Structure 1
């Protein structure tokens, strides 16, 4: 199903990008993902084999009116094919295409204490130079286990400059001797 979600997301992104509405589609998808993920009745409806194709489409038209036309078209296709449960996965995949096109990425910065805005900006600037991204969307997470320093995660890459990691490295080096 993830392959299907990725294909839907890619098509939606291409159309949205061509029409200049990729930003608002992302916002709409973020909202849909949050609402749909939390609503169990939606899941029951989406998976109910007794609900007709026309009823699903009408539901989508009424419930999601106001979203951009490319997204509405996709929602109707999902309703028709009984794939409405893919909305959260499509949203996640869309976000990947959106971030790639905008040369941005999410960055998680773990530290022992809450970092100031200035510290976060400085870290962001350093990693922009290091990674080549134009923008990093930074979240600071408190992790007392680090002892000191920071650990950053950008996509699937981890940069560990924590005291905890340094101690592990020293321990490994000592054990190897």
Structure 2
């Protein structure tokens, strides 16, 4: 079975538990924290995938590092260790976020701009795109893209809304070429 399918199964199981316990937000925060630490710390990844380190040592280590997370999240990490599937942890977190967002009718947006946006600008973008997409809310993550000449690009899921200067120039060029 592919890792994507397995990750989705774990995410669905965690989502059901979170929904039952009314802790969707908390599980999402904890999964993002664990994912962030796992992805950014190569030594942690290396330790957890070492075949010569016992599962019990790995679990003890996880308990020490992530002792503050909920029992359900910690138990999921233990199961991943037992099943030698710790590598799919980032995919599980991503899948969980998708499920939680669908449940809350929320979307995550990455906004590419030439500079850091103010909180007010992010709020305006979130409101505008919430209306455009039919979502109750949009969570904005701002990324500075120095390749942009001006304007912004907004990515929500697999859709890109291109309001950048390059995008506008490309549209004008296509229009001119079409009218030849």
Band the TM-score falls in, shorter-chain normalisation: 0.7 to 0.9
- Is 1:7 aligned to 2:21, yes or no? no
Q: Distance in 2 between matches of 1:60 and 1:141?
A: 31
Match of 1:153 in 2: 155
Match of 2:78 in 1: 76
Unaligned 5+ residue runs, structure 1? none
| CA distance 1:169–1:12, shift in 2 (3 Å) | same
TM-score, structure 2 length as denominator? 0.83
Alignment of 1:31-70 (within 5 A): 31-70=33-72
Q: Using the TM superposition, give the Cα deviation of residue 144 of structure 1 relative to its aligned residue in structure 2, in angstroms.
A: 5.4
Alignment of 1:68-147 (within 5 A): 68-143=70-145, 145-147=147-149
Count residues in correspondence: 177
Q: Distance in 2 between matches of 1:72 and 1:85?
A: 15
Q: Using the TM superposition, give the Cα deviation of residue 60 of structure 1 relative to its aligned residue in structure 2, in angstroms.
A: 3.3
Q: Distance in 2 between matches of 1:96 and 1:8?
A: 13
Q: Distance in 2 between matches of 1:63 and 1:113?
A: 35
Moved more, 81-90 or 55-64: 55-64
Greater than 6 Å deviation, 4+ residue runs:
none
Q: Using the TM superposition, give the Cα deviation of residue 74 of structure 1 relative to its aligned residue in structure 2, in angstroms.
A: 1.0
SS in 1 for 2:111: strand
TM-score, structure 1 length as denominator? 0.85
Moved more, 91-100 or 103-112: 103-112
Q: Using the TM superposition, give the Cα deviation of residue 39 of structure 1 relative to its aligned residue in structure 2, in angstroms.
A: 2.5
C-alpha distance after superposition, 1:6-43 (max 9, x if no partner):
21111111111111222222222222112222333322
Q: Using the TM superposition, give the Cα deviation of residue 88 of structure 1 relative to its aligned residue in structure 2, in angstroms.
A: 2.1
SS in 2 for 1:110: strand
Unaligned 5+ residue runs, structure 2? none
Q: Using the TM superposition, give the Cα deviation of residue 143 of structure 1 relative to its aligned residue in structure 2, in angstroms.
A: 4.0
RMSD: 2.3
